[in-house]
Structure 1
Amino acid sequence: MQALIPAAGRGTRLGERTETRPKGLVEVAGRSLLAHVFETAIDAGADELVVVIGYEGAQIVERFGDSFAGVPIMYVHQREQLGLGHAVLQAEPHLDGLFLLLNGDNVFAGSVAPAVAAAEKAGVDGVLAVEEVSKAEAKTTGVLEHDGDRVTGLVEKPDDPPSTLVTTGCYVLPADIFHACALVQPSAEGEYQLSDAVGLLVRAGYDIETVRLGERVNVNTPADVERAARLVQN
């Protein structure tokens, strides 16, 4: 299975750490953020890494070259950072069939292989790794409506969250997600949200399931870097 890893952003909230380098090269416990993500993808069975680069992307190419731990890397350029849905669309020519998507700024404590295994079950079209958060935090990210393990709706940054179950930056998605991303309208901020595209699949009758994984840190701030370091060192 191929793994798509969006890593085009600068990470402005990381301050001076990203003034001259991309977010994916910020060090967590002595290794780059992307090295941790690549290892997570390979552990889950990825046989090719498709990496979306943008801000200072040449540094990522220079650091990793054409492979990581023997697994080939394909680079895709996102000229404008217009949201995760837009990043996914840039990679369409290089992906074939069901694929794993791992956000390039998420560090997981354990394996994401259970998400891949769940997606390979008969009748399942895709899987979202999810976690419970506070209602305040739910207002800042993609929130799920669900019936047991099945997703019935998905809304991005709602004022009144329908639940406190949210996406975690780990998805296993079918190739039809590209068509859905192409149909998505931009948000008020001009971004094309992947959650809106997944919501289109759900409304079209696709069976999108959820799975809960272990602890993870979404690295956005210096404090998150320290939290992620503690996570991988435990």
Structure 2
Amino acid sequence: MKAIIPVAGAGTKLRPHTYTQPKALIPLAGRTILSIIVDQLVDAGITEFVFVVGYLGEKIQHYVEKKYPQLTCYFVQQNSREGTGHALSLTRDVVGDDEMLIVLGDTIVETDFRALIASPYSMLGLKKVDDPRNFGVAELDEEGNITRVVEKPQIPKSNLALVGVYKIKESRQLFECLQSNIENQVKSHDEFQLTDALECMIQHGVRFNGFKVSNWFDCGRKDTLLETNAILLKKYKLASNPVLPYENTIIIPPVSIGEGCNIKNSIIGPNVAIGDNTVINYSIVKDSIIGSFSNLYEVVLKSSLIGSDANIRGLSQSLNIGDNTEIDLG
């Protein structure tokens, strides 16, 4: 089985950070979004990965090859962003007829991946949501079989959202439906959607079962990314990343601090993740994510997302600063 992870999106909802950093590599609870996904699948026994890359794809490839040299990885280029269906259609030559596990590159879920892989049927991850109009939606019959899927319906007939995890046994049928939709310009919301290809498979008799996920974390916007960071910091407890003593500094857990950081005269936490080699002095930081190689001096930050190589001096309450930025608030 191969794992397919589409990470070609531009991450427009997380700009300015995604101008210089792929969304999948944004730090989260001492890791990255992508590493959390890959580690879950490696723990479940998957060793072959296909990454669909595009915008800043060379950073994805460099990161994966450096962090996971033991894995067999393929990188497929998506030059034009035409939706998840189009992205997956590009992997046909690499995947062939192998079974596949598709996990969208901004999707972090908690589920039993080993049981999912062992299932004799194709499976779609589902989660009940209050407003399903912003998601792909699945409709089930009385026996729990999926009878229909539709992308972002205006009048949903179900509150079961597709969470972005798909186990596909019938790969050939999927690629045939993807190709047919592209040739016939079958689009939803102006893009070729994976959801439409799955609906094509259902109409041709392929059986899909749903599986529930215990947690589904949204990493697509600043506010929900910070919420996810706080939840995962508490969950991981960072047993493998102990917080070292810093000069005249109070650490309020949960906090993740990267290697090579220099922190003095500050209060850090709770719910803070700091990248490697960052310098913080005379500052208060809480409920925030700080990138690597940044420099903070005399600032008060809360609910902030700070990119790498940023320099901030002065006083602030809430910032959304991209990479390679210099700000003097004094």
Question: Quick check: 2:149–2:198 contact (8 Å CA) kept in 1?
Answer: yes
C-alpha deviations, 1:7-30, integer Å up to 9, x for none? 001211112221211111111112
Query: What is the aligned partner in structure 2 of residue 139 from structure 1?
Result: 133
Question: Quick check: 2:138–2:158 contact (8 Å CA) kept in 1?
Answer: yes
Query: What is the aligned partner in structure 2 of residue 5 from structure 1?
Result: 5
Query: What is the aligned partner in structure 2 of residue 117 from structure 1?
Result: 118
Comparing 103-112 with 90-99, greater Cα deviation is found at 103-112
Query: Aligned with 1:139: secondary structure?
Result: helix
Q: Output the amino acid matched with 2:163.
A: T
Q: How many residues align?
A: 227
- Report the CA distance between 1:226 and its aligned residue: 1.6
Distance 2:207 2:76 in 1: 29
User: How do 1:86-125 and structure 2 match up within 5 A?
Assistant: 86-96=86-96, 97-118=98-119, 121=120, 124=121
Question: Quick check: 2:151–2:188 contact (8 Å CA) kept in 1?
Answer: no
Query: What is the aligned partner in structure 2 of residue 159 from structure 1?
Result: 154
Query: What is the aligned partner in structure 1 of residue 37 from structure 2?
Result: 37
Distance 2:213 2:115 in 1: 8
Which residue of 165, 168, 181 corresponds with 2:178?
181
The two structures have a TM-score, normalised by structure 1, of 0.91
Q: Name the CA shift for 1:80/1:179 in 2 (closer, same or farther; >3 Å).
A: same
Comparing 195-204 with 215-224, greater Cα deviation is found at 215-224
Identity of aligned residues (%): 27
Q: Output the amino acid matched with 1:103.
A: L
Question: Quick check: 1:3–1:101 contact (8 Å CA) kept in 2?
Answer: yes
The two structures have a TM-score, normalised by structure 2, of 0.65
Q: Output the amino acid matched with 1:41.
A: L
Distance 2:124 2:69 in 1: 26
- RMSD over aligned Cα, in angstroms? 1.6
Larger proportion of helix: 1
Distance 2:138 2:112 in 1: 22
Q: Name the CA shift for 1:98/1:188 in 2 (closer, same or farther; >3 Å).
A: closer
Query: Aligned with 1:130: secondary structure?
Result: strand
C-alpha deviations, 1:141-174, integer Å up to 9, x for none? 1111111321101111111101001111100112
Gaps of 5+ in 2: 236-330
Which residue of 163, 171, 177 corresponds with 2:166?
171
Distance 2:71 2:81 in 1: 26
Question: Quick check: 1:115–1:129 contact (8 Å CA) kept in 2?
Answer: no
Distance 2:167 2:124 in 1: 7
